[in-house]
Structures are given as C-alpha cells and as structure tokens.
Amino acid sequence: MSSSLNAPSGQGGLDDLLPRLEELNEIGIALSREKDLDRLLEAILLAAKKITRAEGGTLYRRHPEDENLLHFEIIRNGVLGIAMGGTTGNPIPFDPIPLNNEDGSENTSTVVAYSVLRDQTVNIADAYTEKGFDFSGTKRFDSRTGYRSKSFLTVPLKNHESEIIGVLQLINAKDIVTGEIVAFSDADRQLAESLASQAAVALTNRLLILQLEELFESFINLINEAIDDKSPYTGGHCKRVPVLTMLLAEAAHQAGGGALGGWRMTDQDRYELKIAGLLHDCGKVTTPVHVVDKATKLQTLFDRVDLVDTRFEVAKRDAEIAMLRARLDARAAGTDPAVDAELERVFQDRLCAIDDDRKFVRAANVGSEAMQTEDQQRIAGISQKYRWRNPEGEDVDFLSPDEIENLTIRAGTLTTKERQVINHHIEVTIKMLEALPWPRHLRNVPEYAGGHHERMDGKGYPRGLRREQMSVQARIMGIADIFEALTAKDRPYKKGKTLTESLQILGRFKLNGHIDPDLFDIFVRDRVYLRYAEQFLDPEQIDEVDVSRIPGYAGH
C-alpha cells in the first residue's frame, strides 16, 4: 500500500508548473473572498479539478454533530455530466461514509476514511489493480455507466487546530499532451495539498463566521423568547415584523421604476436588515407586562372593573335598604297603601338606573371604540351620582380619580402615562443597540431598528426624524410594524383587522404623512400584504381587496 500513496506520473514540467502555481495563488485569494458556504465548497472542488486536470471529484465534510461520518457535499464529473450538491440544487443520494465499522474498528478499507483516520494523502494510480482498498462500489458504478474510474487523489482538509474537517477526492488525471487518463503526479499532489490547506482555512473561517452568526441570532431569539414569556402578544409581534420587513424590502429591491427604482440590496444588506427586524423591539424586555398586556382600561395586575361592579351591588343594596326603611316608616305612620306601591316603583326605577350605569361602565372599560365627549362626561357624572364608604370608613366618590382617568381614555386602553411607558421601549431599544460594538457590516442595525416609530412628517418618536433623515430600511420597518399591529389577531384589546380594513388605514397614514408613500405603493402594487397574510392571518381576515378604494394608492 505504501507505494500507492505516492504514485508517480510524468505530467508536465517546469513550464507547466509555474502557471499552475500562479493559478493556485489566484484561487486562494478568490476562496478567501467567498462568503456563501455552498459556493465556497463548490469553488474548492472546481479549483482542485482544474489545477490537477481531473475529470471528476468529490468533496466530503465532517459535521460537528457527528464526526464519525463523512458527508457528501459536492460531486462533479464533466465526462458523465454529473453535478450534485452546492449551488446546483440537485441533492446527493448517497449515504455518508462512516469512519468506523459496525464492530467499532476503523474503516481503513475506504480511501476517504483512510485519509482521515491516518491524516494522509492517498494517491492511487489505478483502482482496478490497487490491493489495499475496497473499490467494489466504484467498479459497480463503472459497470452501470460505462465509465472507467482509474486514478484517485485523496487529500484531507485540516483547520487551524489540525482537525480534519473534510476530504477532497479527485478522479482521473488527464495527461496534458495526450489527453489519456494517467496517475496524479507529485506536482499534482503538492498543488492539491496546498490548495487543500488554503481551502481548509477559507472553509474554517466561513464556518466560524456562520457559527458566530448562529450564536448571535440564537441570543436574539432568546431575548424575544424572554419578551414572549412576559407577553405572548409582543412575542408574536417580534417574530412577524422581521418576516414582513424582508418581504417588503425584496419588493422594493425588485422595483423596476419610480423613486425606489435604483434602490438595491446585497446579501450583506439583507442580513443587516434581518437582524434589525429581529431586534426592533428588544427594549420591550424592560416594559412592565401589565402595561404591555393591558386588555381593558381598568386592568392593572387584574381588571378592576370587578371592584366597581361590587360598588354597584352595594349601591343596589343601599337603595333596597332605603326603600324598606321608607316603607316601614310609612306603615308606622299609617299612610295610604298607594305610598308603599310608589316606593316600590321608585326602587325598581333606581335598580334599572344602577344596572344601566353598570353596563355603561363595563362597555367603556373595553375601549374597543373611540370614546365620545358625552360618554366621558357620563363617567364623571356616575362618579358623583353614587357614594360609597371606602375601607377606612370614609364617604367618598363612587369612582377614584385614577379610575375616572382610565375609564375616560378616548381611544384604546392606555392612559397618557402608560402610553409613554410603552413608547419608552424604543428609546431603550436604541440605547441597548447603540451600546453594542457592531461590526462594520451591521453598523446600521441601531438606525434601522430605532426608526420604526418615526413619521415622514417629523411627528414621530423618539427623535422626530423626517423622511429625508431616515434610511429606506427604517421606513420599510415602519410600515411592517404598523401593518402587523393592525392585522394581529393575538392582541388582548382588539380583533385582527381584515386586509381591506388594514390597507385603508395604512392608506390614510400615507396621506397624513405617517408612512413612506413610495413604499406604500409598492406594498399594495406587489401584493406584499397578501404574501404576508397567507403565512400569518386567519382565512376570515383575507378578504378580496379592491385597490381602487384604498386611500392614497397611486398604482391605479
């Protein structure tokens, strides 16, 4: 077997070697620049084939989760027209090659496994005459295809810690002069080993970056899960906004004309925006959960409307006691029986009035519709209309000032102070993100994530930026954040709106300077809303949208 490890070959001479060395240097530079893992793996194999003039080749990888297996990553054979793995989209149907047999012994009969186990380059002149390895599978393949697998060059890929992370195997070297299949030369071996070393460095660097990115995204998801644990409503929002952001960004990227016709994103830009989307509400980790989840106006840690209900019951009891006492007094004074009936009638009217006021308070507590001025005045009147004794025995107004403030909220369920608490999350988000040492390709994350509550007319928060002061990415996130909130079906204080309702509101936001007009037109024209809806909305929310009825839409 030892002779087979360095099979001789007479391919080329010095004049042939120098150009190949130059080519090797260029390949190394190209590999170091490649960012996509599939393209990198493909480039490694294609470069090895080219520099050794091999007809075919296979690249195997050891995956961290099971280092006892060599997984097929890329297979190429120009003669047979085989191209699997990598960027081809063609799956590789072969099972991984184990490094150990079922009995636990080392699998040294398979060339690629031997190369890993012995950390050694294996150069075989002719598989059909080789006595050290099992080539039965190769011979069966040849018999099916009519191909003749002859020379093999197998080189391990080692990272900076001398760990073998993969194997490069080349098949059938061609003579530069005759074109015949020959053994791989010592020069081929040295070039392949040099390429393997450079490839391993490039691959290791790419994998380390991918691992760091995966770790970083996992940490982001951990933050969002912490928010989700506090509030399932916000947690769903944190998952959906990034998806809608990227859908709109891709539509803007592909816009053929208009104000955004020349706006484009690189893969790096996409990743940066994706991270910003995932982190856009990270500041909510500090927002009190009773404010985030406030489903009714009187809700704090519980819905205080039940306490008000109790007071109404006390008011009914007091009215009944007063009526009974009056009837007793009337009977003791020997008054007309008609007085007794009148007292009962007045009492029943009183009960009806109390029940009516209680129903009104409960309806006002929901906060599903904008509250009119007369309704706010009625709440104040109810507070004065009834009296009750508090736990200290004091005779006080029926509703406390805090209860009146909450029950008279004009829209929604949050008081001005609570809305400020909610709004503060964006300041916390910006503060958190600006404190991080972002690498260059992610340095815009704080600006993208921190601008989704700004308005095009400068009336947003927290910085009051105008459209021209904001990036396209931040403006995209602003639309995504609003549309997700409008259609969300998991909010405690409202039902998810239909597509038509949401787009009409969004259209009015365009007209009043709230959102970017060009992005809104793309959102509607390219039906971004529908692609999002198909993923996240209930069927009853996905109605037929008549774009001609959407306010401000300039695409019809």
Q: Of the given ranges (95-99, 146-150, 177-181, 302-306), which has the lowest mean pLDDT?
A: 302-306
- The HSE-up count of residue 303 (CA atoms within 13 Å, CB side) is 16
Does residue 81 carry a pLDDT above 70? Answer: yes
Q: Of the given ranges (14-28, 54-68, 408-422, 438-452), which has the lowest mean pLDDT?
A: 14-28
Cα–Cα distance, 300 to 286 (Å, whole number): 17
Q: What is the mean pLDDT of residues 20-47?
A: 74
Cα–Cα distance, 256 to 302 (Å, whole number): 53
Residue 548 has what DSSP assignment? G
For 3-209, CATH gives 3.30.450.40
Specify the residue for token string 């891709």: 250
The confidence score (pLDDT) of residue 5 equals: 45
Please indicate whether residue 369 or residue 384 has the higher confidence score (pLDDT): 384
Instruction: Classify burial at 83, counting beta carbons within 10 Å of its beta carbon; exposed 0-12, middle 13-18, buried 19 or more.
Output: middle
Q: How far is CA 539 from CA 21, 245, 298, 535, in A?
A: 62, 22, 32, 10
CB count within 10 Å of CB 439 equals 8
The confidence score (pLDDT) of residue 159 equals: 84
- Give the confidence band of 289 by pLDDT, cuts at 50, 70, 90: confident
- Give the confidence band of 194 by pLDDT, cuts at 50, 70, 90: confident
The confidence score (pLDDT) of residue 83 equals: 95
Does residue 538 carry a pLDDT above 50? Answer: yes
| pLDDT tens per residue across span 245-288 | 999 999 999 987 788 888 999 999 999 999 999 999 888 888 77
The confidence score (pLDDT) of residue 44 equals: 84
| Terminal-to-terminal C-alpha distance of the chain | 76
Does residue 116 carry a pLDDT above 90? Answer: yes
The confidence score (pLDDT) of residue 1 equals: 37
SS3 98: strand
Among residues 303, 350, 296, the alpha carbon closest in space to that of 323 is found at 350
Does residue 9 carry a pLDDT above 50? Answer: no
| pLDDT tens per residue across span 217-245 | 898 888 877 777 776 666 578 889 999 99
| pLDDT tens per residue across span 165-176 | 899 999 999 998
Q: What is the mean pLDDT of residues 414-429?
A: 84
Cα–Cα distance, 308 to 313 (Å, whole number): 9
Does residue 491 carry a pLDDT above 70? Answer: no
Contact 487, 240 (CB under 8 A): no
Does residue 55 carry a pLDDT above 60? Answer: yes
The confidence score (pLDDT) of residue 45 equals: 86
Contact 415, 405 (CB under 8 A): yes
Q: Of the given ranges (23-37, 485-499, 533-547), which has the lowest mean pLDDT?
A: 23-37
Beta bridge partners of 60: 72, 167
Does residue 294 carry a pLDDT above 90? Answer: no
Does residue 301 carry a pLDDT above 50? Answer: yes
The confidence score (pLDDT) of residue 206 equals: 81
Cα–Cα distance, 476 to 468 (Å, whole number): 14
Cα–Cα distance, 370 to 358 (Å, whole number): 19
**CATH 1.20.1260.10 matches 231-288+418-549:** no
- Give the confidence band of 313 by pLDDT, cuts at 50, 70, 90: very high
Q: What is the mean pLDDT of residues 314-320?
A: 91
Delimit the domains of the chain by residue range.
Answer: 3-209, 231-288+418-549, 305-413
The confidence score (pLDDT) of residue 7 equals: 45
Q: What is the mean pLDDT of the chain?
A: 87
Is it true that the peptide bond before 462 is cis, omega within 30 degrees of 0?
yes
pTM above 0.75, yes or no: no
Q: Of the given ranges (196-200, 224-228, 254-258, 467-471), which has the lowest mean pLDDT?
A: 224-228
Which residues lie below 8 Å from residue 138, measured CB to CB, with a gap of 6+? 127, 149
Please indicate whether residue 29 or residue 10 has the higher confidence score (pLDDT): 29
The confidence score (pLDDT) of residue 15 equals: 56
- Give the confidence band of 17 by pLDDT, cuts at 50, 70, 90: low
Whether 231-288+418-549 and 3-209 are alike in CATH topology: the answer is no
The confidence score (pLDDT) of residue 29 equals: 67
Q: How far is CA 542 from CA 482, 502, 504, 510, in A?
A: 17, 11, 14, 22
Q: What angle do CA 39, 270, 466 make, to 5 degrees?
A: 160
The confidence score (pLDDT) of residue 452 equals: 93
Q: Of the given ranges (273-287, 443-457, 484-498), which has the lowest mean pLDDT?
A: 484-498
The confidence score (pLDDT) of residue 556 equals: 52
| pLDDT tens per residue across span 366-378 | 877 788 999 999 9
